[in-house]
A = this chain, B = another copy of it.
């Protein structure tokens, strides 16, 4: 097996986040499910945008955010995702390349436009996401560079992208390409709604030994396993997945890998400004530790540090120098 060129290659939605603060009463008035992610069509996206206050645009997308964190820590990364040939597509492509991440998926001509996520952020820092998938859901299997996938230590897949048909096919092909090359496959469950629609697929992949590293939060863990007991759910997954990582927001995170259990508390922060990207950046820190061969508890601590940084400001991409934060906390 040749040495990998990339530490992590990821397939995910190519999304620009459109973010604005709002009050809790507005969340209720707009009929939004606070804290969740909802897919919206063109008409609903327009309705919500019209109701939104002055906003800012910051590149997002779950797996892309994770790569932004990994690249900021010094990992070599590549991204596969579909933008349209429009201004928001240029914004997304600029931001990911400017972060030092290889991105070669050709922009898609014509409608629909580049994906955007309308994010309402309440005073408690909680984000409520409304995603217009646009071009992102048309990632074709042909867009995969199987040589690049075979050349990455880890293939990282975003559960959100399992929902649309074309990218799901592409991701199945990518898993086969990675496994044939002897690489690891990491998967994040993303959201309970994805599990409600595709839980059987995920359970089959896990039972079949296709997933090496699985990321979930405690709600996704319960939804996937059907077990309300946290430890029981964790152990059920750990029986079939070499490395399982489960985050519990302010209660920290747990991992089970090769029979070893580890737990870390959440990192203290002054104020939660915007939780968008917390799970994505946790995965970034953990994966960075993993590909660098760090002890399991260090991997969790790296995840907690990166998550704490991203929730201390608006936007799901890191702003502070993650390397300095890590050096100060983990060494």
Contacts and interface: CB of A to CB of B under 8 A. Distances in A.
A22 to B, nearest CB: 11
- Interface majority SS on A: helix, strand, loop or mixed? mixed
18 contacts: A21-B319, A49-B94, A52-B94, A52-B98, A54-B59, A54-B68, A54-B94, A54-B98, A54-B99, A54-B317, A55-B94, A56-B58, A57-B57, A57-B58, A86-B86, A86-B87, A87-B88, A87-B113
A205 interface: no
Contacts of A49: 94
Interface string A89-102: 00100111011000
A68 B58 CA distance: 20
A53 interface: yes
Interface of A: 20-21, 49-50, 52-59, 68, 86-88, 91, 94-96, 98-99, 113, 315, 317, 319
The quantity of this chain's copies bound in the complex is 2
Nearest to A18: B91
A315 B57 CA distance: 11
Nearest to A315: B56
Contacts of A98: 20, 52-55
B54 A91 contact: no
Contacts of A53: 98-99
Contacts of A50: 94
Contacts of A52: 94, 98
Contacts of A315: 56
Contacts of A21: 319
Nearest to A317: B54
Contact of A57 (B20, B56, B86, B319): B56
A57 B88 CA distance: 10
A96 to B, nearest CB: 8
